[in-house]
Every structure is written in structure tokens, then in C-alpha cells.
Structure 1
Amino acid sequence: MVIRYDSPLNLLVSTKGHPFDRNAFSDMFDAMRGMTWTHIEQPATAALLSPEGCADFDAILFYDVPGLQFRTPEPPALFDPPETMKAGFTALLDAGKPMIFLHHAMAGWPTWDPYAEAIGARFFYQPGTYKDRPYPDSGYLFPATYRAKVLAKHPVTSGLGDGFEVTDELYLFEMLETGDDLIPLLAAEHRFTMDEFYSAKNALEARMWTRDGWTHGPGTNLVAWAKRSGNAPTVTVQMGNDGKTFGNENFRTLVRNAVDWVTSDEAARWARNAA
């Protein structure tokens, strides 16, 4: 792969912490013209996250699950972000660095609330808290074939018509942050109740596809949204589980639209709440 120092758009992509189809994932980004991407893995990502460390990148895309160490059938070990990462991540948001969060990145840094606040949601692998409120472990369902319905005419949904069909993994979770700072973009046409999903905690206890002992209220049907996080424009896309999704042309359009929008002057003005 040639290093493109002259690329008009340079995307930093962070992974590790959850298995995925690396070849299909790479093929998706390699097919995106007019940009280059640089792959980095946790924990190196945490060390790079600062305005200075990310100065050469136009946006950061997270497809990682930092802060957890899975050890089935025992509960995962949880780790706080390094203090330098906390300061650097906060400084990036204050500086307006565009960010995109894909799929299991919603579970990252489960002990640090500002990370979930930046995303607007959190996938709980085990019961936890957010801003001192208790939450049950989240639910999962795959493979799930559903229609992702477009909710807003927005640059991120451009070219998607009124929606598209995808076979992917769905999550049962609650939105943590709402309001004028969040723009709903796509909703899944599916029933988001616990009888349709399985317990993440049970899965980590080597009891896949079970929900015994689990209670969860109705969840959100949102599978993509834009959010103003600090001074930064962010986009979260809940889908993105496997190679079939990475090869879905509509999903590729969605991700590329997200990259183009968060790096636009329009998104920067919106994030800073400027006219």
C-alpha cells in the first residue's frame, strides 16, 4: 500500500478489542476514492489521542472496544482510560476533531462516562451505570435482516433513498444523550423489546442465545445518528458487524457520507453551534 502524503482527506481508523473480518473491513476503506486511511490498534490509539497526535488526520473512526478484557466465562475486566487519554480525547472534542463510531465501538471505555456522552449511547456488556444511574446489560441479535429507514434528509443519508435492507447485528440499548445536539438519521424497522434479543452478560458467561435472568426495557430503534460532542461533529452507526455488511454498497455509502460530512465546513459550523 502506497503512503499517500498528498491525499485530500486522511482518516485514522482504530480497531482491536473485538474480532472482525479484517480483509473485508480493509477492502471497504480501500474502495473509497479521494481519501486515504491509516490503521491503528488499541492501546496505541489511546496514546495518540490528542490534538497534537492527531494533527495530520482529518477525522477519527473508532471500530474498537477499549477498556474491557474479555475472559469468558468470567465477567470482563474493566479498565479506566489513562489520564493522558482522557485529557487528549477531551481536548480533541474541544478542538472540534470529527469522529465516527461504528458498531461495537459503542461499548468502549465502559468506566468513563464522557466517552459514552460523546457517542450518545453505550452498549453494556454487563450491568453498569451511567452518570450514577444503573443500567442492565444490553441485548444482541444476529443475524438480523431488517430495513434501515431514512429519518432525515441529511448529507449522511444522501444516496440512500428512503432506506435499505441489511443483514447485520442489532443491539437492544437505550440512548443516553438526546436533545438538539442529536440528529436521528436511520431507524431499524424491527421490534426492540427484550423478547427479540439475548443477554450480553449471559453470552459472556458462555450461554449464548439466552435471556434467562435478564430484564431490559424497550430500546431505541435508532441505528445511525449525528451528534454535537463538545465542538466536534460525530456520527454513530450501530450496524457494522461482519464482512457481509462491509460489502453492502448502501452501508459503504453511509460510512463514506459520514466521513465526508464530519470533515465538512458545514459540520464544523453546526458542531460549534454557529450560524
Structure 2
Amino acid sequence: MSTKVLALTGGHSYDVEAFRGYLGELHGCEVTWAEQPDGNALIRSGEAASYDALLCYDMPGITVKLRNPIRTEAPDAALKQGWRRLLDAGTGVVFLHHALASWPEWPEFAEIMGGIFLYRAGTVRGERHPDSGYIEHVPEEFRVVRDHPVTRGLPERFRLAGDEPYLCPVFEDSVEVLVRRVGYEEAGAYLSSEHTVLTGEERPCAGASSLVSDAAAWVRRERNSRIVYLQPGDNGSSFKSPHFVHLTRNALAWVSAVRSCGSSAAAGEE
């Protein structure tokens, strides 16, 4: 029986054809692809809650345009309720890469994801934090640190030819980290996201959040749903990586197991 997956995109540029090919490699999944704001409409209406899993590669709630002010907005009450209804229904969610920057004006959403990427300095868990950092198009190595259904079948270490590591808050006290990044440990190696957006010029980060982490994949639970975040996914080369495709397949299978087995049956599973 196929896993019904709703894939969401929009709000951030991406390689459309590479993403299409990546979705085609998610064997065993019946994928419906919606671009924002259509995805939000499906969440508001409750239709999204009928899917086994969401694959979020979107970035709603924030508008980022080079050499323009960064604009943010909070979701309306109907959209918040739609998300809560979806999580109560046990629909699993896999967040990819820049989805971590979604809804910065809605703190509850960062808690759902297990962290947040800040395009500009902001308050996280009651404390001020600087804008988040990034390094664009660099080779990355990853280390699997926990045996889990999401990481099964992956080598202990694997590489991606060119992706984009983040320097941003991760709530390690409320997530289970499965994969960590190797290298890129110095905050000075990362570029300021806010400065790049506002000026079009690159400048090292002014500082690092006290919540920064080398976590690259983690899991958590929210209401009746399982949540996975995968930090890679910046460009087409990662979407063609067998390791990244395998990781995504595992993640979708794990988050959708609650719907397949029933929330009570799956509650005690890893």
C-alpha cells in the first residue's frame, strides 16, 4: 500500500527539475505536489490531514528578496488550527533544509520543527539570538550517531558533493539527533544571512547563537505525529544523492507509520 505524501514547496528558490526527479525516487510513495500558497489552503481546509505524511520544502511566513527588507508575517488562526488538527490526526511531517526558516513570527512552529533558521536577529525561547549563518555549495560529510529506523541502511559516514550547512538554533533538549555534520565548526566560516539579503554582499556572521548545533538530522514527536528534520537539501546534487534519497525514504516511512499502524500501536515503537 502506497504512502500518501503531500510535498510542499514555495517561498524559496530551488531546482525544480531536480526536486521533481527526487520525488520520483521516493518509491512506495504516492506524492501530491503543491506550491504555496496552495499548500496552506490544504492545511486550513483540513485536507492535508488526510495524508500519511507531509514533505515540507517550503518557507512560508517570510519573504526574502535580495537587496530588499525582510518581511515576516504570522499565520492566521485558521492555518494554526489546521496545523494542530493535522498533528492531532497523526500525519507525519518531514521538514527539509530551508523549511527551518518557516513562520518566524509563530514560536510554536519552531518547537514543532525542533529549531529555527533566523534570517534576521530575533527572540527564540525568550532570548535574543543573532541572525543565522550559512556556507553555500560546499562538500559536506555526515556521521550517523544513532541507530534508528530513519538511519537504517546508511553507512556510518557519508558525503554530499555540495550542500549548505547552517549555523542556527537547534533545540537539542527536545529532539533526538540522529546525524551530525563533520567539520565547519568555526562560526567565522559562516556568512550572515541578514547582511547578504539586505546588501547582496557577503560578510561573516557577527556572532553565533548559544543554541547552535552540528545536528544535521533529528526526530521528535508533536501531539500524535512524528517529526523529522533533514538539514541537507540545498540543491540538485543532493537530490540526486542515493544517501539523501535513502534518508528521505526512511524518514517518510517512519513518520507515516503512526497512520499505518494506529497511534496507540506505534506509540511505543522507536
Q: Name the TM-score, length of structure 2 as normaliser.
A: 0.91
Pick closer, same or farther for the CA change 1:274–1:90 going to 2, 3 Å. Answer: same
1:178 matched to 2:178? The reply is no
For the pair 1:232 / 2:221, whether they are aligned, the reply is no
Residues 77/21 of structure 1: CA separation in 2 closer, same or farther (3 Å cut): same
CA gap 1:270/1:233 in 2 versus in 1, 3 angstroms: farther
Q: Note if contact 1:16-1:64 (Cα within 8 Å) is conserved in structure 2.
A: yes
Provide Cα deviations, 1:17-68, integer angstroms capped at 9, x if missing partner.
0110111111011122222101111112112115831243110111011011
Change (3 A) 1:269 1:140: farther
The whole-number CA distance in structure 2 between the counterparts of 1:115 and 1:84 is 14
CA spacing shift, 1:151–1:100, aligned 2, 3 Å:
same
Cα 1:230/1:236, change in 2 over 3 Å:
same
Q: Does 1:169 align with 2:161?
A: no
Counterparts in 2 of 1:217 and 1:79: CA distance versus 1, 3 Å: closer
Counterpart position of 1:215: 207
Does the 8 A contact of 1:93 with 1:230 survive in 2? yes
Contact in 1 for aligned 2:43/2:49 (Cα 8 Å):
no
Measured after TM superposition, the shift of residue 249 of structure 1 is 0.5
How far is the alpha carbon of 1:192 from its aligned partner?
Answer: 2.9
Distance in 2 of aligned mates of 1:189 and 1:274: 29
Q: Distance in 2 between matches of 1:270 and 1:75?
A: 48
Using a 3 Å threshold, how does the CA distance of structure 1 residues 113 and 55 change in structure 2: closer, same or farther?
closer
Matches within 5 A, 1:94-113: 94-113=88-107
Name the SS of the counterpart of 1:202 in structure 2.
Answer: helix
For 2:55 and 2:129, how far apart are their aligned partners in 1? 26
Aligned residues of 1:70 and 1:76 also touching (Cα < 8 A): yes
Corresponding residue for residue 240 of structure 2: 247
Q: 1:162 to 1:268 in 2, by over 3 A?
A: farther
Residue identity opposite 1:232 in structure 2: S
Structure 1: gaps (5+ residues) = 1-6
**Separation in 1, partners of 2:179, 2:35:** 28
Q: Is the contact between residue 14 and residue 234 of structure 2 (CA under 8 Å) also seen in structure 1?
A: yes
Whole-angstrom CA distance in 2 between matches of 1:88 and 1:110: 18
Contact kept in structure 2, 1:50 and 1:92, CA below 8 Å: no
- Compared CA separation, residues 28 and 88, structure 1 to 2 (3 A): same
Residue 184 of structure 2 corresponds to 191
Structure 2 CA distance for partners of 1:243 and 1:274, relative to 1, 3 Å: closer
In structure 1, what is the equivalent of residue 47 of structure 2? 53
Residue in 2 that maps onto 1:91: 85
Question: Any conservation in 2 of the 1:232–1:272 contact (CA below 8 Å)?
Answer: no
Measured after TM superposition, the shift of residue 94 of structure 1 is 2.2
Out of 236, 247, 250, the position equivalent to 1:257 is 250
Q: 1:123 to 1:215 in 2, by over 3 A?
A: same
Report SS of the residue matched to 2:246. Answer: helix
C-alpha contact 2:132 2:167 (8 A) present in aligned 1: yes
Which amino acid in the other structure matches residue 173 of structure 2?
A: T
Q: Kindly report the root-mean-square deviation, in angstroms, between the aligned alpha carbons of the 2 structures.
A: 2.1
2:70 aligned residue:
76
Partner of 1:3: none
Rounded Cα–Cα distance in structure 2 between residues aligned with 1:8 and 1:201 = 41
Q: How far is 1:95 from its partner?
A: 2.4
CA gap 1:217/1:9 in 2 versus in 1, 3 angstroms: closer
Match of 1:124 in 2: 118
Cα distance change, pair 140–268 in 1 and its aligned pair in 2 (3 A): farther
- State whether residues 93 and 228 of structure 2, in contact with CA within 8 Å, keep that contact through their aligned partners in structure 1: yes
1 CA distance for matches of 2:32 and 2:269? 31
- Checking the alignment, whether the CA contact within 8 Å between 2:53 and 2:91 is kept in structure 1 is yes
CA–CA distance in structure 1, aligned partners of residues 177 and 172 of structure 2: 12
Contact 2:50 2:91 in 1 (8 A): no
TM-score by length of 1: 0.90
